[in-house]
Structure 1
Amino acid sequence: MNTTQQTGGQSPLTGQVLFYQQPQPLSPEDHGGLGVKQIPEPFGFLRQAHAVPVTVTEFGLAASSYPIIFVGNDRTPVAVMGVRQGQNLFVDEQGRVGEDHYVPAFVRRYPFVFAADDASDRLVLCVDRAAPMVSNQPEVPFFENGQPSKFTNDAIEFCKEFERQRRATADFVKMLVELDLMEQKTVAFQPRDNQGNPVGDQQKIADYYAISEERLNALPEAKYLELRNNGAVGACYAHLVSLLNWPKVIQRAVRLSPPAPLNA
């Protein structure tokens, strides 16, 4: 699939992506006077995302902060950043994510994104015109003298690399499915009173897919060596270690807003 960063008009684009309210193909004709500015809440747009897609190369970094689970028919890997729909537990009142928590590339590429163009087999670089940092009085412009600025070119390269990693992640997941390494799991929470005694019924937080360590260890040696040699084993164990973060995320949810029911 080919990629392009500019288009002279509005092309029909397919797909809806988390965060993006008004994605438009980036062009000097439509966005020549626009750019980005600093905003008071840099990650305010992340507040309502309780799960964010991550690529396989990010598993090691994300695993230190969040559970990484696989969801949906495509078994998309996501970092769990909350246990309730519409609530991210890692964005503070100032719209920031703590320095000790990893921010996925899916978030860092915003307000840019590649989108599919129905008219041809290509990807078009888009910008979310509704993004709070996009301004007609920019500190950093998208274009200079009708050409992409360094900022825009850097964004293009970042999005290209993200697309490469997204495809590598799809290949990784396909390999896990072909080797039958996935199993369905459920995570639940037992409410307790101030003395630690159980109160009421358990609350289910999420059903998801995870790698089975038992099946991974039971692989034929040749298959296991193949996973090791292509770097997949490290990602598998990073995912397994990340699941140890479930209690931390649940307790964070209880501490921040105990009255609401937990439901991812």
Structure 2
Amino acid sequence: WIVPICVVLLLVHAGIASECETAVSLDVPSTTFGSSTLEPATIFTDCFGESTIEQVAWFVIQPPTNTLITVSTCGSCYDTVLSIYGSSCDSLQCLVVNDDTNVPCTSTQCEFSFLVSSLSFCATEESYFILLQGFQGETGDFKIIVEQGATCNSPANNECSSAQEITNSLLPVVSTFSNEFANGGSHFCLGVEESSHSLWYKIPGDIGTFVAHTCEFGTDFPTAIAVFSGACDALQCVASNAVNDNDCPLGLSYVTWCADEDTDYFIFVTGVDGSFGSG
């Protein structure tokens, strides 16, 4: 027997919500069109903790758990920024943010294909809020694409609070990793922004110079590394590959820093512009 199968892609012209509390519900998967041009400006706190006033659009999705979800603005006609939040509107927790993606955009609708946003994350909560804003307050016609991918399980060390601990007695240490299903965050250090695929490590300080790098031949995607001191709820930027990028192959990361005794250091390895792979 031959049974015809029909796959339906849901296309929606969206109503706009300028507040989280009235976020427009989107199906998974779906493609949604709209415009932010006529929306009133609202006050909100972005993923970097800065309060701003912009014309934005809020959406909410309820994806299947343990599923890789990709959200993009491919086909939008202005420079977009996407953020994903968990929790609830009265206690939003920024999970990941992306401005300009390096993921190819095949849409020819607009000339801004290199300024669109795309991010992926492993869904573990019941619902997620999507914030669409324009870079430096830009507005325009947008296209939101929500895609459902493979079943995924986030690695244990995809957040600072669950960082993989490395003791000094084990140094030097080589750790293999894959960040494909790792969720990201919004930490920033000296030009390095945490993307939607990041892994965390923790190492106690000792007097001397420390090095962290992804320069081994097995690393198959462009990486960035940032080093922080302190605690997860009060991280202090120490170093990143933005100022140590000449010591290993193009696209990989090499970071050095002077460590202090009795100081914990947290390191994240992330994919540039949301990229992922293994290393």
TM over 0.5: no
Question: Which one has the largest radius of gyration?
Answer: 1
**Whose helix proportion is higher, 1 or 2?**
1
Q: Which has the higher contact order (CA 8 A, sep 6+)?
A: 1
TM score, norm. by length of structure 2:
0.23
**Whose strand proportion is higher, 1 or 2?**
2
TM score, norm. by length of structure 1:
0.24
